[in-house]
Amino acid sequence: MYKVSLEGRGDFTEWRDAARAFLSANVAPHEIEWQFQGEETGLFGFEEGNRLPQIDGAASVNVPAAFMPFAQTIICHSDPTRFALLYRLLWCLGKDRALLEFKSDPDVAEARKMEKSVRRDSHKMTAFVRFKEVPLPPDTIGRRRFIAWFEPDHFIVERKAAFFQRRFTDMDWLIVTPKGSARWDGETMQTSRMAAEKPDLSDETDELWRTYYANIFNPARLKIKAMTAEMPKKYWKNLPEADLIPDLILNAERRVLEMGAKAATEPQLFHHRLQAAADSRPVPVLPDADTLEGLKHEAQSCTLCPLHCKATQTVFGEGPANADVMVVGEQPGDFEDLAGRPFVGPAGKVFDQVLGDTGMDRKALYVTNAVKHFKYEARGKKRIHQRPDAGEVQRCRWWLTREIDLIQPKLIVAMGMTALFALTGMKEKLSDVRSMPIPMDGGKMLFATVHPSYLLRIPDEQKKTEEVRRFREDMQAVQRLMETSGETESQVSFGR
């Protein structure tokens, strides 16, 4: 019998190294006892020390890509059997790579349950950590400091630390829990596995939380079951607003009756004045430039929607004013926003690569976007892409329509759902209309395919290769369609 003692409580690397060594030495799961240090359940008290099999350099083990994130999540579970369970899965995956898909397998079922529990716990930590401000010592100047206490079920503090760093990057904070702590000082993140004790926490933000909660509580929408599922009772003791809940529930019915009996409230007078002022403002008359250059110039000062406020500049389409093919993407990304040109970032590189493979010349295409400003959310130093909403796409359609009117392309390629929606108003699944020419008004043809950034996001290498191949075939189809565009419509065919 082999015995291995792990130090880590949620440490994937330590378990992985041991598991790899056992697997390389062909040690079956029943031959190993996993013990570990420092969990509340205490040590198992083996007399012998660690006994890892002696092998020269553990071989790397091939597992399906999905196993790694799965195992990394499960290792954070507080159940001491998780190490053995994961090793059994690893052992069996060597014989059956599809094992994880068999939900009825008892080990797979147990592992899925653990994974779900860790993910739920992580989600609850995101929702229920309440920071309290720690006053700076008198006469000191510095960043504001906050502390929070949370009681997770599993060892998730390290796993969630990066989230809190991104979200609260501009303040110093410390999250303490009975299962470890994390600290951020604006430059470094430190985590500790020591169990912490609940600090004495209370400040005036408690009152803010309570006022906020009492105000957003709508008695007419009360669904106790859904509410306790979302905010389980075990978290209540650390939530300042929680002691309001019993009374709010008790009085909900009475308050609904009172609300119903009251007459509708009239808006304040100043609302009428603001509305009247808004109604009398002239609708901005947009320029109707009659050249592409003129249109591009006008678009630089577009304020049709709020996206212009945060973006660096308008990123207008580019390409020949008489192009036969117009390619429409979603919106400029980070690179495009800075460069002022469409598809020059990572998605643009994929696009260029595939065009190169098919022998198409990008210079012959007019390349543009459904939305001309970069929509993003700032997280720390990063700008994270956000998909434009339907209203933003509809506003920006003003420019896209004019680009089409001026260029009169024979074929428009919609890359991705946003482009398809902007061009047709269709909200169908892209897969329902992909890879087939669709006739549009004025004898134009529409061809829908995926957006190149979709290809960048596929984690599985095999799937990625397959999807790039399909995108390349779509571009070849576009090319063939252009070559046959002089022929009659019935002669056009797209064999796959």
Residue whose C-beta lies closest to ligand URA: 329
Q: How many residues bind ligand URA (CB under 6 A)?
A: 13
Asked if 430 interacts with ligand URA (CB under 6 A), we say: no
Specify whether the CB–CB gap between 147 and 201 falls below 8 A.
Answer: yes
Cα separation, 148 vs 326, in Å, equals 53
Among 5, 78, 314, 369, interactor with ligand URA by CB under 6 A: 369
Total length of the chain: 496
For the bound state, the minimum distance from the C-beta of residue 91 to ligand URA, rounded and expressed in Å, comes to 44
Residue (78 or 449) nearer to ligand URA, CB: 449
Among 152, 329, 409, 437, interactor with ligand URA by CB under 6 A: 329
Place of tokens 């401000």: 133
How distant, in Å, are the alpha carbons of 35, 84, 305, 451 from that of 42?
Answer: 10, 17, 60, 53
Residue (107 or 336) nearer to ligand URA, CB: 336
How distant, in Å, are the alpha carbons of 250, 304, 316 from that of 299?
Answer: 56, 10, 7
Asked if 343 interacts with ligand URA (CB under 6 A), we say: yes
Asked if 336 interacts with ligand URA (CB under 6 A), we say: yes
Asked if 5 interacts with ligand URA (CB under 6 A), we say: no
Q: Which H or E element spans position 368?
A: strand 366-369
Residue 432, class by beta-carbon neighbours within 10 Å (0-12 exposed, 13-18 middle, 19+ buried)? exposed
State residue 178 phi and psi, 5-degree precision.
Answer: -70, -5
Cα separation, 65 vs 458, in Å, equals 12
Residue (78 or 418) nearer to ligand URA, CB: 418
Specify whether the CB–CB gap between 401 and 425 falls below 8 A.
Answer: no
For the bound state, the minimum distance from the C-beta of residue 440 to ligand URA, rounded and expressed in Å, comes to 20
Residue (180 or 348) nearer to ligand URA, CB: 348
Q: Which stretch binds ligand URA (CB under 6 A): 119-127, 211-219, 258-266, 328-336?
A: 328-336
Asked if 347 interacts with ligand URA (CB under 6 A), we say: yes
Residue (387 or 429) nearer to ligand URA, CB: 387
Among 152, 342, 388, 409, interactor with ligand URA by CB under 6 A: 342
Helix ranges (H only) for 300-412 are: 307-310, 334-339, 346-358, 390-407
Q: Which stretch binds ligand URA (CB under 6 A): 44-52, 181-189, 257-265, 339-347?
A: 339-347
Q: Which stretch binds ligand URA (CB under 6 A): 40-48, 180-188, 335-343, 455-463?
A: 335-343
Cα separation, 331 vs 345, in Å, equals 12
Cα separation, 426 vs 445, in Å, equals 15
Asked if 453 interacts with ligand URA (CB under 6 A), we say: yes
Q: Which stretch binds ligand URA (CB under 6 A): 94-102, 103-111, 342-350, 454-462?
A: 342-350
Asked if 388 interacts with ligand URA (CB under 6 A), we say: no
Q: Which stretch binds ligand URA (CB under 6 A): 54-62, 217-225, 327-335, 482-490?
A: 327-335
Q: In what order do the strands lie in the sheet with 132-134?
A: 132-134, 145-149, 172-177, 180-184, 189-192
Residue (240 or 319) nearer to ligand URA, CB: 319
Specify whether the CB–CB gap between 74 and 45 falls below 8 A.
Answer: no
For the bound state, the minimum distance from the C-beta of residue 346 to ligand URA, rounded and expressed in Å, comes to 8
Residue 5's DSSP bridge partners are 35
Residue (150 or 343) nearer to ligand URA, CB: 343
Among 345, 388, 409, 437, interactor with ligand URA by CB under 6 A: 345
For the bound state, the minimum distance from the C-beta of residue 341 to ligand URA, rounded and expressed in Å, comes to 8
Among 331, 454, 475, 477, interactor with ligand URA by CB under 6 A: 331
For the bound state, the minimum distance from the C-beta of residue 468 to ligand URA, rounded and expressed in Å, comes to 16
Specify whether the CB–CB gap between 101 and 112 falls below 8 A.
Answer: no
User: Concatenated DSSP letters for 175-209?
Assistant: EEETTEEEEE-SS-EEEE-S--PPP----THHHHH
Query: Binding residues for ligand URA, per CB under 6 A?
Result: 329-333, 336, 342-343, 345, 347-348, 369, 453
